[in-house]
C-alpha cells in the first residue's frame, strides 16, 4: 500500500503543471455538479413544502362566456354559478367529489370601541383551512360546520389585525366583539401568518349579508378517491359535464368555464421536478467528462513514460491483472483527490446559497447520500479514465520494453 501511494505521488509530481490543470478540470466539474444539485434540491424542497402546506386534491372553477351556440342558446352568454350548483356537483359525481364550496368577499369597516380598520372579509367554508395555507391558530378555533348551520356571527382574524383592534399585542382579542357592516361579531379565533391577512366569517353569514343573493364566484371542488392522473382527469370531466347540463352550454366549449385541476397540475409539476434532477445530473457529468478525459491523457503519458518499468515487472513475473489494477488505481486516486476538493468547495458554496437565498430556496444543500453518490461517480469515472491506458500497458511486451530507452 505504501508503494502504491508513493507511485501515485510520483505520477502527480512528475508533471506538476499538467496534473494541476487536469485536476482543476476535475475539481470544476464536481464543483458545478454539487452546486447544481444543491440548487435543484432547493427548488424541489420549496415546491414540496408548498404542496404539503396546501391540499392539492381540488379543482377550482371560474365562470366564463360561451363561444358555441348550444340547444337554442346563442354564444356570448355569461355563465354564473348558483347555490344549487354546490349540491348538484356533489350529487352527480359521488365517486370523486367530496365537497363543493365557494367564497364570498365583502368590504367594510371592522371596528371596536377603540380602533377600526378598513379591510375586506371573506365568507368561507371550514374546508378552506385544509385547501390553502391559512396559517397557524394562535388562539381559539377556525370556522366550523355549526357556525355554517346557524349562520353564526363569528369571525377569525389574523394576529396582525388583532394587535390593531385589541391593543396592546392583541390581548383580549379572543372572545372580543367587533362591528362589521352594522353587525356585531364574536372573535372565535386568531391565527398567525407571514403573508395571509384575510378575515374569515362563515359562508352562510356572508351570503346573508351579501347584496347579491343569487350568484357565486369561484367554485372549489374537493376530490376524493383520486390516486393517479387518469382519475384526476375523469373527475374534472365529470364536473364539467354536470355544469354543462345545469347551465346549458356545450361540454366542448373551453371558454364557458375555466377549470384549474390542482391535482393533475401537481402531478405534472412533480414529473418536472424529476426531469430537473435528471437534467442536473446529466449536465454535471458532461462537465465532469472534460476533467476525466484529462486524467485519461495523464495516464496514457504515464504508461508511455514507464514502459521500461512495466517491461521489467512483466519480465520478473508480474501478472497482467496486477499491472491493470495499478494503473486503474492510480487513475481513481487522482480523480478522487481532485474530486474531493470539488465536493468540499461545492458544499461550502451550497451553504452560502442557503443563507443568501433561504427565502426562495428551502434547504438548498447536498445531503451526505448525494455526496456519496457523487463519490461513486468519481470512482467509476476514474476507473474508466484509467481503463484504456491500463489496457495499453498490458500490450507492452517485456522484451521490447527492456530495449526501450
CA distance 85 to 360: 39
- Those residues whose C-beta lies under 8 Å from the C-beta of residue 140, and which sit 6 or more positions away, are 156, 174, 187, 188, 189, 190
Share of the chain above pLDDT 90, in %: 33
* pLDDT at position 203: 93
339: confidence class by pLDDT, cuts 50, 70, 90: confident
* pLDDT at position 309: 65
Q: What is the mean pLDDT of residues 109-124?
A: 89
- Higher per-residue pLDDT: 290 or 234: 234
Kindly report, residue by residue over 349-394, the tens digit of the pLDDT.
Answer: 888 877 777 667 777 777 667 767 777 776 777 677 667 666 666 6
- Higher per-residue pLDDT: 222 or 281: 222
- Those residues whose C-beta lies under 8 Å from the C-beta of residue 8, and which sit 6 or more positions away, are 329, 330, 333, 334
Q: What is the mean pLDDT of residues 136-161?
A: 94
* pLDDT at position 165: 92
* pLDDT at position 96: 92
Q: What is the mean pLDDT of residues 49-75?
A: 83
Q: What is the mean pLDDT of residues 323-329?
A: 71
- All cell numbers assigned to 42: 432547493
Asked which of 25-34, 291-300, 334-343 is least confident by mean pLDDT, the reply is: 291-300
Res 163 pLDDT > 70: yes
* pLDDT at position 175: 92
260: confidence class by pLDDT, cuts 50, 70, 90: very high
Amino acid at each position: 500500500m505504501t508503494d502504491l501511494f508513493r507511485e501515485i505521488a510520483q505520477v502527480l509530481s512528475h508533471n506538476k503543471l499538467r496534473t494541476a490543470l487536469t485536476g482543476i478540470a476535475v475539481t470544476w466539474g464536481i464543483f458545478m455538479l454539487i452546486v447544481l444539485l444543491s440548487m435543484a434540491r432547493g427548488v424541489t424542497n420549496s415546491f414540496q413544502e408548498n404542496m404539503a402546506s396546501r391540499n392539492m386534491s381540488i379543482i377550482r372553477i371560474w365562470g366564463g362566456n360561451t363561444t358555441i351556440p348550444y340547444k337554442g342558446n346563442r354564444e356570448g352568454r355569461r355563465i354564473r354559478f348558483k347555490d344549487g350548483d354546490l349540491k348538484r356537483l356533489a350529487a352527480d359525481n359521488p365517486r370523486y367529489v367530496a365537497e363543493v364550496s365557494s367564497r364570498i368577499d365583502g368590504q367594510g369597516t371592522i371596528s371596536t370601541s377603540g380602533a377600526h380598520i378598513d379591510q375586506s372579509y371573506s365568507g368561507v367554508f371550514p374546508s378552506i383551512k385544509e385547501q390553502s395555507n391559512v396559517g397557524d391558530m394562535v388562539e381559539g378555533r377556525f370556522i366550523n360546520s355549526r357556525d355554517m348551520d346557524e349562520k353564526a356571527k363569528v369571525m377569525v382574524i389574523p394576529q396582525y389585525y388583532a394587535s390593531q383592534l385589541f391593543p396592546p399585542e392583541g390581548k383580549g382579542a379572543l372572545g372580543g366583539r367587533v362591528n362589521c357592516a352594522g353587525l356585531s361579531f364574536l372573535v372565535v379565533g386568531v391565527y398567525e401568518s407571514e403573508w395571509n391577512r384575510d378575515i374569515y366569517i362563515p359562508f352562510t353569514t356572508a351570503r346573508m349579508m351579501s347584496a347579491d343573493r343569487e350568484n357565486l364566484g369561484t367554485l372549489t371542488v374537493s376530490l376524493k378517491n383520486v390516486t393517479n392522473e387518469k382519475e384526476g382527469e375523469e373527475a374534472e370531466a365529470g364536473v364539467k359535464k354536470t355544469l354543462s347540463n345545469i347551465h346549458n352550454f356545450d361540454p366542448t366549449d373551453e371558454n364557458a368555464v375555466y377549470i384549474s385541476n390542482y391535482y393533475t397540475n401537481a402531478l405534472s409539476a412533480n414529473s418536472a421536478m424529476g426531469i430537473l434532477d435528471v437534467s442536473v445530473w446529466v449536465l454535471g457529468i458532461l462537465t465532469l467528462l472534460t476533467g476525466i478525459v484529462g486524467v485519461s491523457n495523464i495516464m496514457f503519458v504515464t504508461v508511455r513514460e514507464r514502459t521500461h518499468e512495466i517491461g521489467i515487472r512483466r519480465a520478473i513475473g508480474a501478472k497482467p491483472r496486477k499491472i491493470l489494477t495499478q494503473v486503474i488505481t492510480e487513475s481513481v486516486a487522482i480523480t478522487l483527490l481532485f474530486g474531493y476538493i470539488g465536493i468540499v468547495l461545492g458544499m461550502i458554496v451550497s451553504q452560502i446559497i442557503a443563507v443568501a437565498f433561504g427565502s426562495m430556496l428551502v434547504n438548498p444543500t447536498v445531503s451526505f447520500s448525494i455526496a456519496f453518490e457523487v463519490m461513486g461517480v468519481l470512482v467509476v469515472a476514474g476507473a474508466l479514465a484509467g481503463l484504456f491506458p491500463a489496457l495499453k500497458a498490458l500490450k507492452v511486451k517485456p522484451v521490447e520494453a527492456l530495449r526501450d530507452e
